[in-house]
Amino acid sequence: MTTVPFLDVAATARWVARRGPQAVIARLIDALAADFARWPELDKRARIASHSRDGVIELMPTSDDTTYGFKFVNGHPRNPARGYQTVTAFGVLADVRNGYPTFLAEMTLLTALRTAATSGLAARLLARPDSRTLALLGTGSQSEFQALGMRAALGITRLRAWDTDPGALAKLARNARALGFEVHEASSAADAVTGADVITTCTADKTNATVLTQEMVQALAHPGVHVNAIGGDCPGKTELDPRILAGADVFVEYEPQTRVEGELQQMPEAFGVTELWEVVTGRRPGRRGVGRTPAGAGAPFERGVGERAALDATGVTVFDSVGFAVEDWATLRFVHDDVPADLLRHLDLVAEPDDPKDLFSLVRAADEAGAPDPDAAPGDAAPGDAAPGDAAPAGRADDASARRALDRLMGLAGRDGRDTLLAGTAARRG
Ligand SMILES: NC(=O)c1ccc[n+]([C@@H]2O[C@H](COP(=O)([O-])OP(=O)(O)OC[C@H]3O[C@@H](n4cnc5c(N)ncnc54)[C@H](O)[C@@H]3O)[C@@H](O)[C@H]2O)c1
């Protein structure tokens, strides 16, 4: 029987704890660089977004000629006030030769790691190499990972953090100090960015916010500051004063997607940007003197090649990050190769009858093995199961068979166990 390895949330957390979160992010930066260097070979498309009043649910597919992958992810900025995460995700890899899934993983933690690694890759290419201080605007779920990404990429150990929620700010300070960072709990966004070499905006608000102004960047931050803008990632959801973009060199993941979802939605179509893969491969320059050949990137990492001169030490760079499918696919493949077997579970996810054309044989075999079904609708009842007059109404029968399917999926023997579990979930959700 083909089973599909599955990495759940607890196992992901254990894997990260074993390896060390910064070490994982550092290795992911290299994995991303290697895949960005293969950009022209990859299947690329803007993600499919389903918007609703409270947020968005997105599907993010990509592939090469051997491995397909997609991520399911949501973004609901008001979720934390209701006790839920703003972002949750899971992802799948599949073999393009037969289309069978080969790996299934939670991707909420993995998204935080990959987003930190993507910011790290951008910073390695675009920030000044002598950067020492990071301003973090927004100290929710992504923030510790973003801090670790900057330490992995640039050796940054000083944080200046700001959040409109004092509880979130205190949480970041607590976690970051435990990780060895020196933390300044700022009294405002302007206080946070004062003297910063890198600014990461990771706020969640479904509006065109101005978390960072041009005045802060020009007058308060260190000259030559690099900005990672990660929270503006949906139509109508941005963080930056557009004048910052107008005065900066702007880098994106995949331009067609970022034009719709990123800070770029505030700029005219003709506003020029550089895709990050072009810097990874040396087609376009990053900041002079920064970076080294990404491990596994293949081609030599030439500086100053391309239409524009290499960026100098005083120019502002912006990485307008929205999150792109290639990053999740690279992460899933990295995790699949790195996670030890003892952390994986195996799911019976692929139907495999002996005769590939006899899918019904699975139902037949289960029916022969199973007990009579008291809730079955008349047409489905096995001979002798129940008298026609005793059969449940069709709606009830559907409900009952859905309940039994759910019980089987959850590995519960009967309805009582399922009800207890669902009641527990409802109680936790309030
Ligand atoms: N670019 C990417 O690849 C990527 C990946 C993951 C998440 N995101 C985005 O990053 C953002 C942060 O995600 P998260 O999971 O940390 O969310 P979160 O809800 O856990 O944290 C967001 C924080 O922003 C704070 N905030 C809101 N408005 C603010 C403001 N004006 N100034 C300062 N702080 C403010 C909130 O109080 C909260 O603590 C979200 O918008 C999410 O959609 C982007």
What the chain holds in terms of domains, given with CATH numbers, is: 4-109+331-347 (3.30.1780.10), 126-323 (3.40.50.720), 374-429 (no CATH)
* Nearest CA owner, ligand 1 atom 3: 323
Question: Tell me, what's the pLDDT at 312?
Answer: 79
Q: Ligand 1, closest atom to CA 323? A: 3
With a Cβ cut-off of 6 Å, ligand 1 is lined by: 75, 80, 86-87, 111, 115, 137-142, 162-165, 168, 202-205, 209, 211, 230-231, 233, 321-323
**Choice from 79, 108, 139, 163 to test ligand 1 binding pocket (greatest atom count within 8 A of CB):** 163
CA of 409 to the centre of ligand 1 (A): 34
Question: Tell me, what's the pLDDT at 411?
Answer: 45
Q: What is the pTM of this model?
A: 0.86
Question: Tell me, what's the pLDDT at 66?
Answer: 98
Question: Tell me, what's the pLDDT at 368?
Answer: 72
* Nearest CA owner, ligand 1 atom 18: 140
Question: Tell me, what's the pLDDT at 313?
Answer: 85
Question: Tell me, what's the pLDDT at 372?
Answer: 64
CA of 299 to the centre of ligand 1 (A): 35
Residue with tokens 């005083």: 314
Is residue 233 among the annotated active site residues?
yes
For the chain, 430 residues long, the average pLDDT of each consecutive 10-residue run is: 95 98 98 98 97 96 98 97 97 98 98 98 96 98 98 98 98 98 98 98 96 98 98 97 97 98 97 97 76 39 40 90 98 98 98 97 85 64 43 46 52 39 40
